[in-house]
Amino acid sequence: MRKLKTIFVLLTAAVSANTFAQNFEGVITMTTTNSAMKEDASVTWYLKGDKSRMDIVSKADGHNSEYAVIADEKGMHMVAEGHVTEIPQSLLNVDLATQSLVSEKTGVSMNGYTCTQVVYTDGKNQTIYWLTDGLGIGFDDIPLIMKRNMPQIKTAGFPVRMEKRDAEGKVVMSQDVVSVSAATVNDSKFKRN
């Protein structure tokens, strides 16, 4: 159950349906933090057509785990220690607070890219994105399953950093893109073994 909770937090941090709207094929590496779970994780994300695989190495609250989350036309599954576990759609269907755009600033530098910084709020907490057009991948390339907790952003840019801040302004969750590589991804990456 702990792994499913970690997966849920990770999936909700980045971007409710198992369909994809992506044109990018390649590999994205990211790091994430979640202070509530005392978690630091690294993610290697493979994208190809209607397929997505995230290899996750997580250190959460004194426990280390490695697992993959694979999503495609077969559904969404977690693969860990030789076991394949379906992730029920019900875990991903959560009512979300409406978020409103607070501010937008262009020409901001983040993670080596020129970005537009956008700040959204749900009335209490803030989510901040640094979006760039300099990666060859755009916001529309993110699978819908990953965008479920993101506000609707009218941009072609890709988030190279995301922060969720509580009412006091403390960063409670963050995600940073480390690298993006357009490359051919072998179909074997999406096997559930």
On the question of pLDDT at 17 being above 50, the answer is no
The domain total for the chain is 2
Does residue 135 form part of some domain?
yes
Q: What is the mean pLDDT of residues 141-168?
A: 74
Please indicate, yes or no, if residue 192 is contained in any of the structural domains.
no
Cα–Cα distance list, 7 to 36, 69, 184 (Å): 14, 8, 26
Q: How confident is the model at residue 165 (pLDDT cuts 50, 70, 90)?
A: very high
- Whether 186 has a pLDDT exceeding 90, the answer reads yes
The pLDDT of residue 170 is above 60: yes
Question: CA–CA separation, 177 vs 134, rounded Å?
Answer: 13
Residue 191 within any structural domain of the chain: no
Q: 146 and 67 in one domain?
A: no
* Domain identity same for 107 and 82: no
Residues 9 and 81 in one domain: yes
Residue 137: per-residue pLDDT: 80
Residues 6+ apart with CB under 8 A from 48: 25, 185, 187, 189, 190
Same domain, 63 and 122: no
Percent of the chain with pLDDT over 70: 75
For CA atoms 23, 152, 35, 176, give the dihedral sign: positive
Average pLDDT over residues 80-93: 78
Say which residue, 100 or 20, is predicted with more confidence.
100
The answer to whether residues 63 and 112 belong to one domain is no
Give the pLDDT of residue 154: 64
| Residue 136 reports pLDDT greater than 90 | no
Provide the pLDDT for residue 13: 38
Residue 184 lies inside a defined structural domain of this protein: no
Q: How far apart are CA 184 and CA 160, in angstroms?
A: 22
Q: What is the pLDDT of residue 90?
A: 67
The answer to the question of residue 193 being in a domain is no
Let me know if residue 187 belongs to a domain.
no
- pLDDT score at 62: 83
β-strand partners of 60: 39, 63
* pLDDT of 142 higher than 50: yes
- State whether 134 and 157 are in the same domain: yes
- CA-nearest of 118, 138, 115, 114 to 126 is 118
What confidence category does residue 74 fall into, taking pLDDT thresholds of 50, 70 and 90?
A: confident
Of 94, 120, 141, the domain-final residue: 94
User: Could you tell me if residue 188 is inside a domain?
Assistant: no
Q: For 10-39, what is the mean pLDDT?
A: 67
The 3-state DSSP class for residue 83 equals: strand
Residue 140 lies in a domain: yes
Residues 136-149, mean pLDDT to the nearest whole number: 65
Q: Mean pLDDT for the chain?
A: 80
Domain boundary among 73, 94, 115: 94
Residue after which a domain boundary falls, among 94, 111, 136: 94
Domain of residue 48, residue span: 2-94
Same domain, residue pair 106 and 60: no
